[in-house]
């Protein structure tokens, strides 16, 4: 990894947009700071397409997309997109309503089994705002030992589910998307970018385990200084500052190079 000060000037000038994680990347312990929010506005004013790519629920996207200077949200680790289109919100899922109902019923059966097998698991506060997955709080307000989280992930996978771990949540789902596939699909189908071009023309900035697919998929990748875990593909750049301050540092450098 190289410092963000070494960001490739030609790459910065050719970017069409920025994809960014929320928790512990843009947000500081769940709070949006002035520096980070101002940075979104400056990036938007520079003509960049901004998409939040997050494990947070689609309900967050419905609330925040109209308020923030972004084109939309790719939520629930790629499964549900919330886009702003001609002054209205467009909610995009890859499965139809009847299949979603059946998949949700299967998911809740699995969740009940997981709660019985692992009493340390408690619901995240945002589960009611989700369409495609269920989340357990493992680090936001409730802290669960790593060994328990690993065993719970193995349990869910043995029952045919997919699991994703973020800095605060354990996600369980029967959907097949990840952050990268969801983001690339949206950029291709709804913004008209060729899949290969999308990976080159959009930078991604994140911090944790569930960002690994994006760190592998996109060419210009950045981690804030509080990067967690050991992703199989390291980000190309890292900021010197953590969380929202690191996001603002990235934005400043990108805008400097584009002037």
Confidence category of residue 86, pLDDT binned at 50, 70, 90: confident
At 200-257, the pLDDT tens digits run: 999 999 998 889 999 999 999 999 999 987 888 899 999 999 999 999 999 999 999 9
Is-contact 165 121, C-beta < 8 A?
no
pLDDT exceeds cutoff 90 at 13: yes
pTM: 0.94
Q: What percent of the chain has pLDDT over 70?
A: 100
Supply the pLDDT for residue 32.
97
Residue 203: name the closest of 78, 6, 16, 75 by CA: 16
At 21-69, the pLDDT tens digits run: 999 999 998 999 999 999 999 999 999 999 999 999 999 999 999 999 9
Supply the pLDDT for residue 87.
83
Contacts made by residues 8-11, CB under 8 angstroms, sequence distance 24+:
8/220, 9/257, 11/203, 11/219, 11/220
Supply the pLDDT for residue 209.
80
At 115-125, the pLDDT tens digits run: 999 999 999 99
For 202, the token pair is 């959009």
For 212, the token pair is 């690994």
Is-contact 161 176, C-beta < 8 A?
no
pLDDT exceeds cutoff 90 at 126: yes
Is-contact 178 186, C-beta < 8 A?
no
Q: What is the average pLDDT score of the chain?
A: 96
**Structural domains of the chain in order of their starting residue, each with its CATH number:** 2-94+177-258 (3.40.50.1000), 97-173 (3.90.1070.10)
Supply the pLDDT for residue 167.
85
Q: At what angle do helices 34-45 and 243-258 cross, to 10 degrees?
A: 20
């Amino acid at each position: 990894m190289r410092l963000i000060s070494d960001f490739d000037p030609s790459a910065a000038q050719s970017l069409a947009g920025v994809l960014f994680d929320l928790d512990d990347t843009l947000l500081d312990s769940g709070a949006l700071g002035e520096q980070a929010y101002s940075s979104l506005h400056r990036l938007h004013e520079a003509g960049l397409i901004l998409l939040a790519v997050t494990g947070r629920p689609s309900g967050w996207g419905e609330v925040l997309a109209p308020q923030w200077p972004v084109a939309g949200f790719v939520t629930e680790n790629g499964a549900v997109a919330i886009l702003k289109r001609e002054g209205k919100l467009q909610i995009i899922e890859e499965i139809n309503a009847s299949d979603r109902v059946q998949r949700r019923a299967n998911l809740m059966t699995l969740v009940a089994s997981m709660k019985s097998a692992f009493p340390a698991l408690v619901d995240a506060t945002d589960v009611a705002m989700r369409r495609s997955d269920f989340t357990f709080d493992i680090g936001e307000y409730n802290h669960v030992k790593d060994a328990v989280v690993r065993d719970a992930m193995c349990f869910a996978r043995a029952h045919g589910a997919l699991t994703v771990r973020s800095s605060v949540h354990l996600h369980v789902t029967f959907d097949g998307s990840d952050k990268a596939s969801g983001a690339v699909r949206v950029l291709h189908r709804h913004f008209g970018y060729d899949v290969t071009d999308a990976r080159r023309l959009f930078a991604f900035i994140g911090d944790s385990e569930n960002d690994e697919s994006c760190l592998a998929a996109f060419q210009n990748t950045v981690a804030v200084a509080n990067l967690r875990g050991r992703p199989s593909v390291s980000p190309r750049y890292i900021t010197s500052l953590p969380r929202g301050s690191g996001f603002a540092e990235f934005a400043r450098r990108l805008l400097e190079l584009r002037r």
